[in-house]
Amino acid sequence: MPGLKVLLSRKTIAQRVAEMGEEITRDFRGQSIIFVGVLKGAAVFLSDLARQVPLDSTFDFIGVSSYGNRPTAKEDPAGHAAWDSLGEVRLTKDLDQSLADRNVILVEDILDTGLTLNYISKLLQAHQPRSLRIAALLDKPSRRKQPIQAQYIGFTIPDAYVVGYGLDYAERYRNLPDICVLENL
**Residues assigned a catalytic role:** 112
- Of 36, 105, 120, 167, which one interacts with ligand 5GP (CB under 6 A)? 167
Q: Which residues contact 19 (CB under 8 A, 6 or more apart)?
A: none
- Answer for the pair 39, 93: CB distance below 8 angstroms, yes or no: yes
CB of 139 to ligand 5GP, least distance (A): 9
Q: Which of 48, 76, 109, 139 binds ligand 5GP (CB under 6 A)?
A: 109
Evaluate the CA torsion angle 40, 45, 48, 49 in order and state its sign.
negative
Q: Which is nearer to ligand 5GP, 28 or 116 (CB)?
A: 116
Strand order across the beta sheet in which 3-8 lies: 3-8, 179-183, 162-163
- Please state, as a whole number, how many other Cβ atoms lie within 10 Å of the Cβ of residue 79: 14
Which residue from 21, 37, 116, 134 is in contact with ligand 5GP, where contact means CB under 6 A?
A: 116
Ranges within 34-63 binding ligand 5GP (CB under 6 A)? 41
The single residue among 113, 133, 139, 179 that binds ligand 5GP, judged by CB under 6 A, is 113
Under the binding rule (CB under 6 A), the answer on residue 165 touching ligand 5GP is: no
Instruction: Report CA-CA distances (Å) from 107 to 1, 6, 104, 115, 151.
Output: 32, 23, 9, 15, 11
Determine how many CB atoms are found less than 10 A away from the CB of residue 184.
Answer: 7
Nearest distance in Å: CB 150, ligand 5GP: 10
Assign residue 60 a region: left if phi > 0, alpha if psi is -120 to 50, beta otherwise? beta
For ligand 5GP, the binding residue among 28, 35, 61, 161 (CB under 6 A) is 161
**Contact flag: residue 85 with ligand 5GP (CB under 6 A):** yes
For ligand 5GP, the binding residues (CB under 6 A) are 41, 66, 69-70, 85, 108-117, 161-163, 167-169
